[in-house]
Amino acid sequence: MQRKSLLVKAGAALSAVVATTTMALVATAAPAAAGNCTTAFCGGRVYNLATSGKSIGVTNCWDGQLGTYSRETLKCAVNGWTTSSYKAHMNVGPRADSVHKYYYDVDGFRVLKGCRVTASWNGGDDKVYDRRGNTVSQWLRMTGTDSVTITSISC
């Protein structure tokens, strides 16, 4: 009986270690760009397949830990809107993707104020982000190798 009790305690301790390790790994998830990624497909990617002819804004940096920010530009984008620098934003045109030297790892995309965007994350179901009637845009964070396909943009 004492041996069974010891095995139960050992099993419980092992479960606690596994749970703690798993929680630590989940808690330390970083933005898509923990650093500057220098090879294509090494991080987050946005495909703009919307047929509306509209572009979608993407960023290669992220402010802090929140999953969304309501503002026109992120504070980390000290280099503004450019395709030639890290810590910046750029627009992905219609029928295009974000694969570009400084955007191999996209950290988020912007739903422009007054617009409605439909997007699929990692091949899943479409999600609708509706900023119609809003006076400020919203940025949505991507992590790891997230792949977001924009299927519709209407403004």
pLDDT tens digits for 66-107?
A: 999 999 999 999 999 999 999 999 999 999 999 888 999 999
Q: Are 62 and 89 in contact (CB under 8 A)?
A: no
Residue 4: in which H helix or E strand, if any? helix 2-27
pTM of the model: 0.77
101, 99, 98: which is closest to 84 by C-alpha? 101
For residue 41, what pLDDT is reported?
81
Best CA proximity match to 59, nearest among 40, 35, 82, 38: 82
What's the order of all strands across the beta sheet hosting 126-130?
96-97, 45-48, 147-154, 116-121, 126-130
Q: Encode pLDDT of 111-122 as tens digits.
A: 999 999 999 999
- Structural tokens at position 137: 């845009």
Structural contact between residues 131 and 125, judged by C-beta atoms closer than 8 angstroms: no
Tokens of 79: 């280099």
